[in-house]
């Protein structure tokens, strides 16, 4: 049996994630400059994939496989390849694809390596990660037990979450799924939360939302519907910056719901959100009425 990565390994894993994310980021920027077309759609007509998403994931998979052939890879566009090492690389080749399509710079290549099963909420532990936003010139890295860092043109800084403000002064990030049915419930929940916080931000890139929590650019974040590739990289950056990353009522963070922030913000956010059922979709009848 192959032993899981030990603490000494996480630095090398983080460096590999960063090297490959930067290479993919270069390809993504070149792809944007060359012009972007929608290649196909997934869960709804607005859930798009571009040729650059696919090319970026190919590059990442090939580079990771060349460096660590025993590891598994789970990517947003090209699926799950299992490996014998017990480690899996979880890859979003462009998180924030709609921003990418429109030329809004909030998009990122997110690469995390986890032990356990990344498809099972709570069944995995992130060990190392890089979230690289090439159009913003910002690169976030984290290794388990070794902190979270952001590098940009001004240098490299260690990240720490904000001291928790009261919820009424908290800037809270969130996001919405691609399916109209799910958005009805998400709209209802955010409408109830909005009067109770400083303001809401919808940046359009979950991994960068989590990095923003880590960097103190958001006080908290919640979202329903995140997939492992949206979550794994940013979650480790947030955790290593001192955030709590969890689901509702002690459930693990996952597709049902992700809550992130300093512990007191998460507790306050959970207190307001829980009665609203943010971890379930509204009944189809409600959808019909609302639309
Ligand atoms: C999406 C973004 C968005 C979030 C969606 C994700 P994609 O990822 O992270 O912010 O609200 O839930 O699906 O599709 O651009 O990789």
pLDDT tens string 3-14:
454 444 999 999
Centroid of ligand 1 to alpha carbon of 154 (angstroms): 28
Condensed to tens digits (0 to 9), the pLDDT of residues 211-265 reads 999 999 999 999 999 999 999 999 999 999 999 999 999 999 999 999 999 999 9
Centroid of ligand 1 to alpha carbon of 284 (angstroms): 23
Provide the terminal-to-terminal Cα distance of the chain, rounded to the nearest Å.
Answer: 54
Which is the closest atom of ligand 1 to the Cα of 230?
9
Where does the pLDDT of residue 48 fall: very low under 50, low under 70, confident under 90, or very high at 90 and above?
confident
Q: What is the pLDDT of residue 118?
A: 97
Where does the pLDDT of residue 195 fall: very low under 50, low under 70, confident under 90, or very high at 90 and above?
very high
Condensed to tens digits (0 to 9), the pLDDT of residues 53-102 reads 999 999 999 999 999 999 999 999 999 999 999 999 999 999 999 999 99
Chain centroid to Cα 107, Å, comes to 11
Output the six-digit token pair for 78.
């090209």
Centroid of ligand 1 to alpha carbon of 144 (angstroms): 24
Q: Are the beta carbons of 49 and 57 closer than 8 angstroms?
A: no
Q: What is the pLDDT of residue 285?
A: 60
Question: What's the burial of 210, exposed, middle or buried (CB within 10 Å: 0-12/13-18/19+)?
Answer: buried
The mean per-residue pLDDT over the stretch 194-216 comes to 98
**Mean pLDDT of the residues in the chain:** 93
Centroid of ligand 1 to alpha carbon of 92 (angstroms): 10
Centroid of ligand 1 to alpha carbon of 99 (angstroms): 10
Which is the closest atom of ligand 1 to the Cα of 227?
13
- Residues lining ligand 1, Cβ inside 6 A: 76, 92, 95-97, 175-177, 204-206, 223, 225-226, 230
């Amino acid at each position: 049996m192959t032993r899981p990565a030990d603490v000494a390994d996480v630095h090398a894993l983080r460096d590999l994630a960063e090297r490959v994310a930067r290479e993919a980021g270069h390809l993504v920027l070149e792809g944007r400059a060359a012009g972007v077309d929608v290649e196909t759609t997934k869960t709804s007509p607005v859930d798009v994939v571009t040729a650059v998403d696919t090319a970026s994931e190919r590059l990442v998979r090939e580079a990771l496989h060349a460096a660590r052939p025993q590891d598994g890879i789970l990517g947003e566009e090209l699926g799950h390849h299992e490996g014998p090492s017990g480690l899996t690389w979880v890859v979003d080749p462009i998180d924030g694809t709609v921003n990418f399509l429109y030329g809004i710079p909030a998009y990122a290549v997110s690469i995390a390596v986890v032990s356990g099963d990344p498809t099972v909420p709570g069944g995995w532990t992130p060990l190392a990660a890089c979230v690289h936003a090439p159009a913003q010139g910002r690169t976030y890295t984290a290794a388990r037990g070794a902190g979270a860092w952001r590098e940009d043109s001004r240098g490299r800084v260690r990240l720490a979450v904000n001291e928790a403000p009261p919820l009424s002064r908290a800037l809270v990030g969130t996001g919405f799924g691609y399916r109209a049915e799910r958005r009805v419930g998400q709209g209802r929940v955010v409408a109830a939360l909005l009067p109770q916080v400083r303001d809401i931000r919808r940046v359009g890139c979950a991994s960068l939302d989590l990095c923003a929590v880590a960097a103190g650019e958001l006080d908290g974040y919640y979202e329903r519907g995140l997939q492992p590739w949206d979550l794994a990289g940013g979650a480790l950056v947030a955790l290593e910056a001192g955030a709590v990353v969890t689901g509702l009522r002690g459930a693990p963070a996952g597709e049902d719901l992700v809550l992130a922030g300093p512990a007191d913000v998460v507790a306050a956010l959970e207190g307001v959100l829980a009665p609203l059922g943010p971890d379930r979709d509204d009944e189809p009848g409600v959808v019909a009425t609302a639309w």
